[in-house]
Structure 1
Amino acid sequence: MKRIALFHLETLMWIDRLGTFAAAAQRLNTTQPAISARVREIEEQLGVPLFQRDGRRMVLSARGRRLVQASGPLYHGLEQVLLEASDFAGATGSVRIGAGEIAAATCLPAFIQAIERERPGVAMEIAIDLTAPLLQELLAGTRDIVFLAGPVASPGMRTAPIGSVELVWAAGAQVTTDQARAGDLPVWSLPDHSPLHAITHEGLDAHGIVPRALHTCNNVRTLIEIVASGTGAAVLPQTMVRDCLAAGTLHEILPRPRPHVHFEAAIRTRERDPVILDLFDRAARLTIEDAG
């Protein structure tokens, strides 16, 4: 029997995780025909089929599952040893990072700078989104590390707290507190699966305010621009509106909400890629600065 190369095993593990040859090809920076060729090579070496089609997904056969389960720890163990021997200086690959806007505006830039400086062979693919879709992508294996508004819990996820952000009730300079308390203007918020949405509702109830309308927008920076223009009020992260408050384009119209938004870095519980584990350890040491 010819030797089976490490890239054959890596290919099997990514197809198993992502479910299709096309997704594995994208993750491994190659083409779908190249992935198919690798699978054919290893199946010919072993003399058994390793995958079977289940709808649109490729599912490991019983023998394929045993091979991946047995070889996965060996593959990642060897990769870990080699990377540690070089102090991770030779780490390469593509890491898919997801973050919410608040995290992206606070701790993410320093994280990216550290990776670029100390892991120059690692390519980063960054997506900015809300917590709910980021969580789904992480658990589906299409995102490697995410920064989530939490707390969040899932048996498939390992998290590390990275700090919290204070919130403010803000409106444009021309809006008065009396207008806000009378429900005389619209209120804006992130969509209902965001922690800010629940905190907005709690604040309205606590102050007995029934707003003229409750609008949603899935972009915090756009919310800030809308509110600063005088079109309503919103609960906003203090870290992102500090300069606007100082400049007077926004002002606080109600007491600050007691709840803060907490943030966590997260990876999959079963993650074994040493590069991703190394970057998660770095992410866990980040701190979101809340200079409220």
Structure 2
Amino acid sequence: MGILERSHLTIIREVAREGSLTAAGARLNLTQPALSHAVRKIEMQLGVKIWRREGRTLVLTQAGQWLLSLANRLLPQFSLAEQRLEQFANGERGTLRIGMECHPCYQWLLNVVSPYLERWPKVDVDVRQKFQFGGIGALLGNEIDILVTPDPLHKPGLNFTPVFDYELVLVVGHGHRLYGTPSVTPEQLASETLITYPVPPERLDIYTQFLQPAGIAPRQQKQIETTDIMLMMVAHGRGVAVLPRWLVDEYAPRFDLHALKLGDEGIAKQIFLGRRETDDDIEYLTDFVKSASEPGAVV
């Protein structure tokens, strides 16, 4: 049995990604014959079949699938380690990579990031919204350093800090039949077009905490990525939306919007910042969490 090397994991990942030796070779700057030789050499070194042929396609064996899973976990950590070492060598602090699972939180994030960059002139900030394994997986897999989420999933090795509370409300435009009413029932949304961010219904609180328990579904759902366009659509009577009350209060004067409580009790939520426990000694990271938790950071 030979020694498993980083280059082996890189080849396994790229062949799986591209689906062919030719395409994978192009990404790895190897010719197809050279990559074919490398593939055979890996299997000989490790003493196990990693691929099997199905026509012209290479399919991973059970051992290959396990190695691919290992590659997806370890290779981002190798890249992060090299990046951090290069930053230390160049006298830099690093890059704080923030993952967003809260679409309407960008305005809040801007309020936090601006003074943070002033305090940490040698730290860059990168914001990511699409993850290979979802937000929690991205945090565990070192794709990101901080996860902004309303739905923490507590796992060993992760810490979640609550940074602010908010209420989800229904938003309607001036001409809507519910404009001016204090609250809404699930039944009143059965005939509505619900405008949401591009998130699956099973991850939307309006469905999981309000509509589905009552056995209700909206007449139609439309997905829109940007908050401004979403609220413009609501203001022009194209549907209703569910957003944090603080965000609606900010936009209400511009679009003549009205916020309704969802049911008699409303839906209370919190925003959390998740991070890895192993990063607790990184000063610029813990400072971001501390500053984001201060009352002045809330919109």
2:235 is matched by which residue type in structure 1?
A: A
Q: Is 1:230–2:237 an aligned residue pair?
A: yes
Match of 1:271 in 2: 279
Cα gap change, 1:219 to 1:134, in 2 (>3 Å): farther
Cα offset, 1:186, TM superposition: 1.3
Cα gap change, 1:97 to 1:59, in 2 (>3 Å): closer
User: Mean alpha-carbon deviation: is it higher for 205-214 or for 267-276?
Assistant: 205-214
Match of 2:144 in 1: 143
Counterpart mapping for 1:49-128 below 5 A: 54-55=67-68, 57=71, 92-99=93-100, 100-106=102-108, 108-128=109-129
Q: Is the 8 A contact 2:152 2:274 kept in 1?
A: no
Cα offset, 1:176, TM superposition: 0.8
Cα offset, 1:161, TM superposition: 0.7
Distance in 1 of aligned mates of 2:119 and 2:73? 37
Match of 2:221 in 1: 214
Cα gap change, 1:275 to 1:213, in 2 (>3 Å): same
Cα gap change, 1:286 to 1:138, in 2 (>3 Å): farther
Q: Is the 8 A contact 1:93 1:121 kept in 2?
A: yes
Q: Is the 8 A contact 1:146 1:265 kept in 2?
A: yes
Q: Is 1:189–2:196 an aligned residue pair?
A: yes
Distance in 2 of aligned mates of 1:254 and 1:177? 11
Q: Percent identity?
A: 20
Question: Structure 1: which 5+ residue stretches go unaligned?
Answer: 1-14, 22-32, 34-51, 61-67, 80-89
Q: Is 1:262–2:270 an aligned residue pair?
A: yes
Cα gap change, 1:20 to 1:285, in 2 (>3 Å): farther
Cα gap change, 1:193 to 1:284, in 2 (>3 Å): farther
The number of equivalent residue pairs is 220
Distance in 2 of aligned mates of 1:171 and 1:59? 44
2:147 is matched by which residue type in structure 1?
A: V
2:107 is matched by which residue type in structure 1?
A: A
Distance in 2 of aligned mates of 1:205 and 1:59? 36
Distance in 1 of aligned mates of 2:291 and 2:116? 10
Match of 2:161 in 1: 160
Cα gap change, 1:258 to 1:20, in 2 (>3 Å): farther
TM normalised by structure 2 equals: 0.57
Match of 1:251 in 2: 258
Q: Is the 8 A contact 1:95 1:125 kept in 2?
A: yes
Match of 1:12 in 2: none
1:135 is matched by which residue type in structure 2?
A: I
Q: Is 1:289–2:298 an aligned residue pair?
A: yes
TM normalised by structure 1 equals: 0.58
Cα gap change, 1:205 to 1:277, in 2 (>3 Å): closer
Counterpart mapping for 1:5-44 below 5 A: none
Q: Is 1:177–2:178 an aligned residue pair?
A: yes
Match of 1:240 in 2: 247
Distance in 2 of aligned mates of 1:235 and 1:92? 39
SS of corresponding position for 1:235: strand
1:168 is matched by which residue type in structure 2?
A: V
Cα offset, 1:160, TM superposition: 0.8
Q: Is the 8 A contact 1:187 1:214 kept in 2?
A: yes
SS of corresponding position for 1:270: helix
SS of corresponding position for 2:117: helix
